[in-house]
Amino acid sequence: MIQKILPILSALFLMTSCYEPERNCADFKNGEFSFTTTIDGEEQTTTFIRDGNLEVDYFNGKSDSSSVRWINDCEYITKKLNPKNKSEEQSIHMKILTTTKDSYTFEFNIVGQNKHDRGTAIKIK
DSSP 29-97: SSEEEEEEEEETTEEEEEEEEEETTEEEEEETTEEEEEEEEEEETTEEEEEESS-SSTGGGS-EEEEEE
Q: Is residue 43 part of a domain?
A: yes
Residue 3 clears pLDDT 60, i.e. is over it: no
Model confidence at 15, pLDDT cuts 50, 70, 90, reads: low
Q: Is residue 31 part of a domain?
A: yes
Provide the CATH number for the domain around residue 37. 2.40.128
Quote the number of domains for the chain: 1
Q: Is residue 9 part of a domain?
A: no
Residue 9 clears pLDDT 60, i.e. is over it: no
Question: Which pLDDT does position 107 carry in this prediction?
Answer: 93
Residue 34 clears pLDDT 70, i.e. is over it: yes
Give the pLDDT confidence of 70-98 residue by residue, as tens digits.
999 999 999 999 888 888 889 999 999 99
Q: Is residue 1 part of a domain?
A: no
Q: Is residue 12 part of a domain?
A: no
Q: Is residue 103 part of a domain?
A: yes
Residue 21 clears pLDDT 80, i.e. is over it: no
Question: Which pLDDT does position 8 carry in this prediction?
Answer: 60
Per the structure, the complete domain to which residue 109 belongs is given by: 21-123
Q: Is residue 26 part of a domain?
A: yes
Residue 2 clears pLDDT 70, i.e. is over it: no
Q: Which of 63, 119, 58, 64 is closest to 94 using CA atoms? A: 119
User: Cβ–Cβ contacts within 10 Å for residue 99, how many?
Assistant: 21
pTM, to two decimals: 0.76
More confident site: 39 or 118 = 118
Question: Which pLDDT does position 93 carry in this prediction?
Answer: 95
User: Cβ–Cβ contacts within 10 Å for residue 2, how many?
Assistant: 6
Question: Which pLDDT does position 88 carry in this prediction?
Answer: 81
Q: Is residue 110 part of a domain?
A: yes
